[in-house]
Amino acid sequence: MTRATYVALLDGGKREEAVEISSDAPGRYEVRVGERTWRVDAFQADPVTLSMILDGESRTATLEAVKAGVRVHLRDSVQVLDLLDEPRLPGRGGGTGLGAAGRQTVSAPMPGRVARVLVRPGDEVRAGQALAVVEAMKMENELRSPRDGKVVEVAVAEGQIVEGGAKIAAVE
């Protein structure tokens, strides 16, 4: 089980809340903000989109890097969130997320079959560009580059069966 604790500034910096995120498996989280707790199954559909089941309800969140942190669009609400203790957020360098620097690994969000590999090592790619397509549960999932850069590794072949979390490609 992994667990991380952050301090989040909400409502344009007017309100500060403790955020605790724990995970017992890839893509499965328990998120506690203040006194509220949510169970979340999530995967990053592309560099700016999270697809999730939040307390049994399907939702999609779009993330947008802003100077103050991250603007989260969820249904009709928009929240600017600044996680003070998280150096891997968009625009802060390192780790994963929008505009992240360094080598970024793209992984299968769930078990499936690699339907198409769209890039080769050495290819230049843009953030959000499709790298591969994985079929899972009769749906095709385009796996996209998390950043502009060069494909440095393609770890799968078309037709290959992969587990959830399996490395598909890496971009630097």
Q: If you write DSSP's letter for every residue of 78-113 in order, what string do you get?
A: EEEEEETT-TTSTTS-SSSSTT--S-EEEE-SSSEE
Does residue 27 sit in the same domain as residue 57? yes
Nearest Cα to Cα of residue 168 among 158, 148, 154: 154
pTM of the predicted protein model: 0.48
Contact 26, 41 (CB under 8 A): no
97 belongs to a structural domain:
no
Does residue 78 sit in the same domain as residue 132? no
User: The domain that contains 120 carries what CATH number?
Assistant: 2.40.50.100
- Write the Ramachandran bin of 68: left for phi over 0, alpha for psi from -120 to 50, otherwise beta: alpha
Q: What does the pLDDT profile of the chain (172 residues) look like in tens digits?
A: 677 776 777 766 677 777 777 877 778 888 888 788 888 888 877 767 888 888 788 888 877 766 555 667 777 666 666 655 443 333 333 333 434 456 888 888 778 899 999 999 999 998 888 899 988 766 787 888 878 899 999 999 999 999 877 899 999 8
Contact 113, 134 (CB under 8 A): yes
- Domain end, chosen from 51, 83, 115, is at 83
Does residue 109 sit in the same domain as residue 77? no
Does residue 73 sit in the same domain as residue 113? no
Range of the domain at 20: 2-83
Sheet containing 167-171, strands listed edge to edge, beginning at the edge strand earlier in sequence: 104-107, 167-171, 149-154, 124-125
29 belongs to a structural domain:
yes
Structure tokens at 163: 């587990």
